[in-house]
Amino acid sequence: MEVLGRFFNVFLIAATLRTTAPILLVGLGGSFTTKAGIFNIGLEGQMLVGAFFAVVGTIFSGSPWIGVLCGVSAATALALAFALLVVTFEANEIVVGLALNILASGVTISLLKGIFGTRGSIFGHGLVGLPIVHLPYAREFGWFGQVVSGFTPLVYVAFLLVPVLNTFYRRTRLGLHLRVVGEKPEAAEALGISIVKIRYIASLLCGVLAGLAGAHLSLGYTTMFTENMSSGRGFMAVAILIFSNGDPLKILLGCLLFGFSDALSLRLQTSGVSSYLVLSLPYLVALAVLFALSYQARPRLIRETAATMARAVTFQSKTAADDLAASKG
Amino acid sequence: MGQRLEALSGQALAILFALILGAVVIVAVGENPVRVLVTLLNGAFGSPERIAGTLLQATPILVCGVAACISLRAGLFNIGIEGQLFMGGFAAAWVGFSFSLPPVIHLLAAMAFAVFAGVAWIALPAFFRTRYNANEVVSTILGNYVAVLVTSYLTINIFKRPGGLPETPPILPTAYLPEFFSFSRLNWGLFIGIALAIGAQFVFQRTARGYAISEMGANAKFAEYGGIDIRRQGFLILLASGAVGGLAGGIEALGVHRRFMEGFAPGFGFDGVIAALLANGSPIGTIATALFFGALRSGSLLLEVDTTASREIITVIQALIILAVSAQIKLRRGASDSMAGERRWKF
């Protein structure tokens, strides 16, 4: 009985890691734009074209890796359009993001019909998914080995990116530039950093990771493409980005929460609860967290304002601009 | 006058550019753009029935568009109109099939429930937006997914009509929103939409409350210093927007479908938002853009029959137009030094 209980837990943990990966990838992508001070509601659409072109690329080339490349390229192209309109033409980011999401949905459905002559979803046609990675020596670590081994490669990429990005924002020149542009654009200008260039770079990097997230969705998480298969993950990622402020560790925490509610809802579906109610669980969790943390953030906002004023008085501010100055000096 | 002409010609150029890009997409999916255009026009205006169909499709887009205009005017984004439409539609249908009331009272009761459901659905996002600054764009979008799933649950698990189809029992004739012609479901909803648009325009332009709302949208800080309670006003504006969104669902349920079913009115809420954006937040302008989008939608029905292109090609065209115009807003800012119209987009 005890063994059975543990297996239940082990499988639930493994399922959580599996469901966390797509939203984690797109969330980490969004951290670039969030850090650079752009509110990017277009993640959903970038993920969707990533998923679609990953499938198209795989079917036409026979290699899922070329498919991933196609997906990433398509998502990056959409990100370029976003940057062009938002950064260069200074159009409203919400309007552009929403329109690009609608565009992504319409283009993928139209092309699905145009190329394959079907509606709804596409699988078969020689579509192969990404290979499963069996970590060496995983068996020797008992249940832990079972949990961490046997995923498709992009799952590992997603989790490895968390420490990588954390270091990126703290230690590298580009990471600091991104933060300065987002936190204090005036300071960035004074330091001679090109705001336009940094925001373009952030948007494109975001597109790359959103494309990876989409490719993972259609080649790793499942091996098919379905109309609107990103099903709000991009929007949930935006909710996470709002309260994590783009910090990779907080994004990981938020994504694990959604991954868990996703895994739980998949499990509950087999237990006889109405699938409609169960499927709404991740969205409700996202809403609850958004509301709860906005409530939490209120006193902090006042505290932070007070702290900023105190810092301004004592000239001991510690912003990204100072980090940058310290790294230069 | 010259400035306005310049702005209009810029807008026209942007739309032309979007249409050219749309033609490229149509070629990419292996169709002839001219044939698609002719089919769209034929499907939208080819016969009295089809013209009525266009107006029928334009009705919910117009009502949802007015809902979007109301929130945009105050600098707020209610993207959850789709969800309010689903909740309002279900509430109206529920009153329609569950109760037996005298004719006019039944209709009014069902409409009132639709409005109430829309208000209820936006109440939490509105409260947390105006009180604790929780981003309303994300919360209303996430609410859409929940609304679709919850109404599906209610329809299929609780109120399903005996028989195979995933729909509720039909509403009683006493709750019907009357139609104009025998050959179309075109109903009084169109006039409700036009009246709402004119009413909203009047409130925005001719009343003190409307001025306060526009002021808040143009510059919330300034409005606050001017003595406007922007939290209370923002909350009420979002509730009003949700009420109109719920009404749109009621019109669809009582005037067109006469029941609630899965996949009820897909995408009208989003179409309404982009119709309002294309009209730059003007309710009167939304009448024109809603008719345009209604014609596209109506034409797209024939598209699937007569060509190999899918009807989603029209959402591509709509999105491209919005993108082209979104860039245009900046150009227009250069053309005139008045910021009032533009500041509404920044918040």
- Full 3-state SS string of B327-338: HHHHHHHHHCCC
Contact list in A for residue B80 (CB cut-off 8 A) is none
When pLDDT is averaged across residues B289-310 and rounded to a whole number, the result is 89
Cβ of B21 under 8 Å from any chain A Cβ? no
Is residue B161 in some structural domain? yes
Is the CB of A232 less than 8 angstroms away from the CB of B141?
yes
Q: Are A107 and B25 an interchain contact pair (Cβ–Cβ within 8 Å)?
A: yes
- The pLDDT, as a whole number, for residue B307 is 82
Tens of pLDDT along B18-37? 888 889 888 888 888 899 88
Query: What does pLDDT average to over chain A?
Result: 86
Burial B128-147 (b: 16+ CB within 10 A, else e): bbbebebbbbbbbbbbbbbb
pLDDT at position A301 is 56
Nearest chain B Cα distance for residue A185, angstroms: 17
How distant is the Cα of B308 from the closest Cα of chain A, in angstroms? Answer: 7
Report the pLDDT averaged over residues B71-86: 93
Indicate if the alpha-carbon torsion angle B219, B225, B231, B237 is positive or negative.
Answer: negative
SS (H, E, C) chain B: CHHHHHHHHHHHHHHHHHHHHHHHHHHHCCCCHHHHHHHHHHHHHCCHHHHHHHHHHHHHHHHHHHHHHHHHHCCCCCCCHHHHHHHHHHHHHHHHHHCCCCHHHHHHHHHHHHHHHHHHHHHHHHHHHHHHCCCHHHHHHHHHHHHHHHHHHHHHHHCCCCCCCCECCCCCHHHCCCECCCCCCCECHHHHHHHHHHHHHHHHHHCHHHHHHHHHHHCHHHHHHCCCCHHHHHHHHHHHHHHHHHHHHHHHHHHHHCCCECCCCCCHHHHHHHHHHHCCCCHHHHHHHHHHHHHHHHHHHHHHHHCCCCCCHHHHHHHHHHHHHHHHHHHHHHHCCCCHHHHCCCC
Q: pLDDT tens, A126-159?
A: 888 888 887 777 667 777 777 777 788 899 999 9
Residue with tokens 């504006």: B237
Q: Is the pLDDT of residue B330 over 60?
A: no
Q: Which domain holds residue B297?
A: 23-313
Burial pattern B169-201, b for ≥16 Cβ within 10 A else e, equals bebbebbbbebeeeebbbbbbbebbbebbeebb
Task: Report, as an integer, the average pLDDT of A1-30.
Answer: 78
pLDDT at B122 over 90: yes
Cβ of A291 within 8 Å of Cβ of B132? The answer is: yes
Identify all chain A residues contacting B142, using CB atoms and an 8 Å cutoff: 232, 235-236, 239, 283, 286-287, 290
| Biggest CA pair distance of chain B | 63
The terminus-to-terminus CA distance of chain A in angstroms comes to: 62
For chain B, positions 147-186, list CB contacts with chain A under 8 A.
149-150, 152-153, 156-157
Is residue A309 very low, low, confident or very high in pLDDT (cuts 50, 70, 90)?
A: low
**CATH, residue B186:** 1.10.3470
The confidence score (pLDDT) of residue B340 equals 35
* Cβ–Cβ gap A102/B270 under 8 Å: yes
> What pLDDT, on a 0 to 100 scale, did the predictor assign at position A300?
56
Is residue A313 over pLDDT 60?
no
| Residue A325 pLDDT level (bands cut at 50, 70, 90) | low
> For residue B325, what pLDDT is reported?
84
- The confidence score (pLDDT) of residue B344 equals 35
CB atoms within 10 A of CB A61: 14
- Check CB contact under 8 Å for A276 and B152: yes
- CATH at A17: 1.10.3470
Is the pLDDT at B176 greater than 80? The verdict is: yes
Identify whether B113 is part of a domain. yes
Asked if A235's CB is within 8 angstroms of B138's CB, the reply is yes
Residue whose pair of structure tokens reads 């994590």 in the numeric block: A244
Q: Average pLDDT, stretch A166-179? A: 93
Do A106 and B319 lie within an 8 Å CB cutoff?
yes
Q: What is the pLDDT of residue A125?
A: 79
- Alpha carbon of B46 to those of A244, B26, B298: distances in Å? 53, 22, 11
In the structure, what pLDDT confidence band is assigned to residue A307 with cuts at 50, 70 and 90?
low
- Whether B343 is in a domain gets the answer no
Cβ neighbors of A152 (< 8 A, separation 6 or more) are A129, A130, A131, A132, A133, A216, A219, A220, A221
**pLDDT value at residue A277:** 87
pLDDT given for residue A302 in this prediction: 57
User: How far lies A214's CA from each of A129, A261, B200, in Å?
Assistant: 13, 20, 41
Residue B336: per-residue pLDDT? 35
Q: What is the pLDDT of residue B324?
A: 87
- Cβ–Cβ gap B29/A109 under 8 Å: no
Quote the pTM value.
0.87
pLDDT of residue B335: 35
Please report the pLDDT score of residue A198 as a whole number: 94
- In angstroms, what separates the C-alpha of B35 from chain A's closest C-alpha? 15
Higher pLDDT among residues A167 and A298, named by residue = A167
Q: Are A71 and A54 in contact (CB under 8 A)?
A: yes
Mean pLDDT of A278-296: 87
Q: Is A287 on the interface with B (CB under 8 A)?
A: yes
Confidence of residue B80 (pLDDT cuts 50, 70, 90): very high
- pLDDT tier at B7, thresholds 50, 70, 90: low
Q: How far apart are CA A88 and CA A73, in angstroms?
A: 21
Distance from CA of A120 to the nearest CA of B (A): 12
Percent of chain A with pLDDT over 90: 49
Mean pLDDT of all residues in B43-66: 93
Task: Measure CB to CB from residue A276 to each of B79, B133, B149 and give the nearest one.
Answer: B149
Report the C-alpha gap between A141 and A296 in whole angstroms.
40
The closest of B160, B179, B156 to B170, measured between CA atoms, is B160
Share of chain A above pLDDT 70, in %: 86
Q: CA separation (Å) from A261 to A286, A292, A318, B323? A: 10, 17, 37, 35
Q: Which of A72-81, A313-322, B126-135 is predicted most confidently?
A: A72-81
CB contacts under 8 A, B 71-110 vs A, are: 77, 79
Task: Please check the confidence at residue A237 and state whether its pLDDT lies above 90.
Answer: yes
Percent of chain B clearing pLDDT 70 (strictly above): 92
pLDDT value of residue B162:
81
Interface test with B, best of A48, A101, A290 (most B CBs within 10 A): A290
The strand pairing partners of B179, in sequence order, are B187
**Total domain count for chain A?**
1
Q: Could you report the predicted ipTM of this complex, rounded to two decimals? A: 0.87
Chain A residue nearest residue B24, CA to CA: A107
**What does the pLDDT read at residue A305?**
62
Poorest-pLDDT segment among A49-53, A262-266, B191-195, B208-212: A262-266
Q: What is the pLDDT of residue B337?
A: 33
Banded model confidence at residue B341, pLDDT cuts 50, 70, 90? very low
**Which range of residues forms the domain containing residue A227?**
2-328
Handedness of CA A167, A172, A175, A180 (dihedral sign): positive
Using pLDDT thresholds of 50, 70 and 90, give the confidence band for residue B332.
Answer: very low
Residue B87, in any domain of the structure = yes
∠ at Cα A92 (A186, A215), nearest 5°? Answer: 100
Domain count for chain B, please give it: 1
B262: region left, alpha or beta (phi > 0 left; psi from -120 to 50 alpha): beta
A91 vs B contacts (CB less than 8 Å) = 326-327, 329-330
**Contact: A280, B146; criterion CB under 8 Å:** yes
Residue B263 included in any domain: yes
Q: Cα angle at B38 between B22 and B46, to 5 degrees?
A: 130
Residue A15 has pLDDT above 60, yes or no: yes
Tell whether B347 is covered by a domain.
Answer: no
Q: Considering the domain boundaries, does residue B331 fall inside one? A: no
Does B320 touch chain A if contact means CB atoms closer than 8 Å? yes
pLDDT, average across residues B54-72: 95
Write the burial class of residue B233 (CB in 10 Å: 0-12 exposed, 13-18 middle, 19+ buried).
Answer: buried
**Taking a contact as any Cβ pair under 8 Å apart, which residues of chain A between 192 and 211 contact chain B?**
none
* Cα dist from B141 to A44, A50, A195, B61, B233, whole Å: 11, 21, 30, 18, 22
Give me the pLDDT at residue A56, please. 94
Residue B17: inside a domain? no
> How far is the C-alpha of B140 from the C-alpha of B126, rounded, in Å?
9
